[in-house]
Amino acid sequence: MLWDIDHTLIDVAGLSREIYGAVFRDVTGRPVTRFPDMSGRADRSIITALLDLNGVPATGDLVDTFAEALAKTYEDRRDELTVRGRELPGGRAALAALAGRPDVAQSVLTGNMKPIAICKLTAFGLHEYVDFDIGAYGLDGLERPSLVRFARERARAKYGRAFGAHDTVLIGDTPRDVQAGHEGGARVVAVATGRSDAAALRAAGAEIVLPDLADTAAVIRSILQAGDG
């Protein structure tokens, strides 16, 4: 079971964009003039696009420097996540319910790099439900579909068994999450808790679409149904 984080479990109320802008200024010495679309993208992809859009060559060294500064800035501003942001309804209950099942291994598949994913979930006290060792993160690849493979390989190495499409479920809130799941070989439960409505998520091909995570029984039932589908 692989969870997206932003706009699926939590909403940090625009803080991510603000932090990207601050780090860009610190790293390049100039302000951001244009932001790329950040929805559903991996941090490596966002960093590269942000530099390119603002006329800064996205060399490997600069991307790495930016990523390190980004992780540090999130950690420095971690308290702001809960002051300005919020948990989305039902996320904690769903995480807790799945964590209590012996037949489920639960982690994240997120555009956030690993330190930022840990920072965000720890800020809200959601980290205890997630096995970060088997997740996939925003520095693992430029595009999200490749991240499913990383998560599967890490889960196989830790648990000693292979995970296929029939028992890998991704839950997220954007058409990019749906694309990532399907191209990576996973089933997808989509939730209309972000900028994409239910119709857009159905059009993207999600096996199941929910309005939110508020009904814990429906969420668990949908995840298990998608995995058996």
pLDDT for res 219? 96
Among 57-71, 97-111, 136-150, the least confident range:
136-150
pLDDT for res 6? 95
Q: End-to-end CA distance of the chain: give it in Å, rounded.
A: 14
pLDDT for res 166? 85
Rounded average pLDDT over 13-40: 94
- Contact in structure between 90 and 214 (CB atoms under 8 Å): yes
- Looking at the chain, the whole-number percentage of residues with pLDDT higher than 70 is 99
pTM passes above 0.85: yes
Among 19-28, 139-148, 157-166, the least confident range:
139-148
pLDDT for res 229? 57
List of residues 6+ apart from 194 with CB closer than 8 A: 6, 7, 8, 39, 173, 174
86 beta partners: 11
pLDDT tens-digit profile of 144-184? 888 999 999 999 999 999 998 889 999 999 999 999 999 99
Closest by CA position to 38, among listed 170, 146, 138:
138
Cα separation, 182 vs 205, in Å, equals 8
Rounded average pLDDT over 122-148: 93
Query: Between β-strands 169-172 and 187-191, what pairing exists: parallel, antiparallel or unpaired?
Result: parallel
- Contact in structure between 88 and 193 (CB atoms under 8 Å): yes
pLDDT tens-digit profile of 45-87? 999 999 999 999 999 999 999 999 999 999 999 999 999 999 9
- As a whole number, the mean pLDDT across the chain is 95
Tokens matching residue 138: 């925003």
- Contact in structure between 138 and 182 (CB atoms under 8 Å): no
pLDDT for res 197? 97
- CA distances for 192 relative to 88, 185, 196, 200, angstroms: 11, 22, 6, 9
87 beta partners: 10
pLDDT for res 144? 82
- Backbone phi, psi, residue 191, to 5°: -125, 135
